[in-house]
């Protein structure tokens, strides 16, 4: 099982008018309840993380394992949605997700956890696997419940 995961608006919920706290490792502090909720999803489903966030280009996979672990989220596997490594090369989020689903989606149970409204433009068979978070709320209990329902097959 895979979690296609954004960071801002999912795990980082600082309002845009406030400066986000940056931890000693150089990355933003996660909302503690959102971190716990993500850890609970991973624990219940043994899911791995596919990073969709634009932040993915700034850190190596080894650094991502440490960043997540330091914030209370332990994943057995973390990958990036694609190998693009420059902001100039990144496509729009919905296009990147569509390309991933076209390549891997038929063989994977997955959920998309993201606040990016461009996902609304994707076909319904992808959108029904999307948990839309609210930027200043993030991965709350309701979103966690929906993600678990999708991954555990209760909404197919």
pTM for this model (two decimals): 0.93
| Domains of the chain, first to last | 2-152 (3.40.50.1000)
Residue 156 has pLDDT above 60, yes or no: no
Give the pLDDT band of residue 91 (cuts 50, 70, 90): confident
Cα 94 to Cα 22, 42, 104, 130: the distances in Å are 28, 23, 15, 11
Q: Tell me the average pLDDT across 127-137.
A: 96
């Amino acid at each position: 099982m895979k979690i296609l995961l954004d960071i801002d608006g999912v795990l980082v919920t600082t309002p845009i008018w406030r400066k986000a706290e940056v931890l000693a490792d150089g990355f933003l502090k996660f909302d503690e309840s959102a971190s716990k909720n993500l850890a609970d999803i991973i624990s219940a489903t043994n899911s791995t993380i596919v990073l969709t966030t634009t932040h993915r280009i700034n850190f190596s996979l080894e650094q991502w394992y440490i960043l997540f672990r330091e914030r209370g989220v332990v994943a057995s596997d973390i990958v990036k949605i694609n190998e693009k490594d420059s902001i100039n090369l990144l496509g729009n989020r919905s296009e990147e997700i569509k390309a991933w689903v076209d390549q891997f989606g038929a063989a994977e149970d997955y959920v998309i956890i993201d606040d990016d409204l461009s996902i609304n433009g994707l076909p319904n068979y992808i959108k029904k696997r999307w948990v839309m978070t609210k930027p200043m709320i993030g991965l709350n209990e309701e979103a966690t419940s929906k993600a678990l329902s999708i991954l555990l097959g209760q909404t197919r």
